[in-house]
Structure 1
């Protein structure tokens, strides 16, 4: 599983150290999602992939099992490992979502991401406004301040923004709604990098202003106000895709 924030960290060129197992998963999964391995195609034989990735048969087989669990491939006797249709992919898997960062632009997919954000974030922030603790409010203020002081660091700004979403998710006490964080991270990473002119100081300043308003609404125990501000934040992010 991909750690929350790993996609944002990669924007600065920093890559987390990987063992052989996760390396193979990332190489094959990324190739599938970005279209290098076409839907319905059969992957190379074990011997070829072992040579290509420099791993043992055991490591390769375990990696393919993980990819199969994500819905990306299916092993068939006498056929080999075939790339599955997109309808079988587990789109709530954070790692699978992160691989879409490098995929060709797809407006229908982007619209779906924001529909999911709306459906899951709205009740989440409303619950957060009802159940937040003083410590969670303190954390919200701290991370919003980190957004305000990030300067030109897209990584620092993005990580601080994602932490705000994570605190809100924790405050909402709903484990299923918390799974939206992978969607949030992908849309945020794309919004910060799609157009450097758009993702500049003005965008970040406006985001920080809205997150300050959101924090005040949550601190004040106002779920409807919090939901309204969060809708503005989504709209700002989505505007980067126009």
Structure 2
């Protein structure tokens, strides 16, 4: 059994491990041997449950911290607009933004290490428009989990940071994503519960709209650059003779 499969199974488990009924029958030695084994297994399961709970608590704290980080950028963007009467230009947006939402976390957290991969929206240059800055378009992919992922219709991004709601649609035109590009490294994304839940039955208490706070993550972009440089370097190095 895998560690992350214990959570719900132990929900009613008594946390005491030393309660053993006395038995002095003919198989007493075997009985107490089994009791000792059960105690050790129970203790191990409880330790693993505590580990899983700590991992969930740490993930929740990260979720909350990232939300606050982007909320602060929202306030700064509003302050800049009020005090300076304008907004800075946006740089290139062809990167990945990891997205965070406590409402989503509480409903979809999965302790399986492969079940809670980083949610993100990823933008990249639209091939047909490369080389023309005035008409530069981006295409994107929205990824929540293995069951909720979709491509976006290519769009022309805003040139300046803004609190205005910028709308784009999924490639099948069924869902709308509303984005605020706060600066080069932060965004706020809103989408309906119909997209978040996709084809699953919806809970009555879920919000109509989920608000995700996005933080830029250039690791994948840098990794591609490093890989290209490495390949080019290998291409110009003299080959070792056999």
Would you say same fold, with TM above 0.5?
no
Greater RCO structure (CA 8 Å; 6+ sep): 1
Given the two structures, how large is their TM-score scaled by the length of structure 1? 0.27
Given the two structures, how large is their TM-score scaled by the length of structure 2? 0.27
Higher helix share: 1
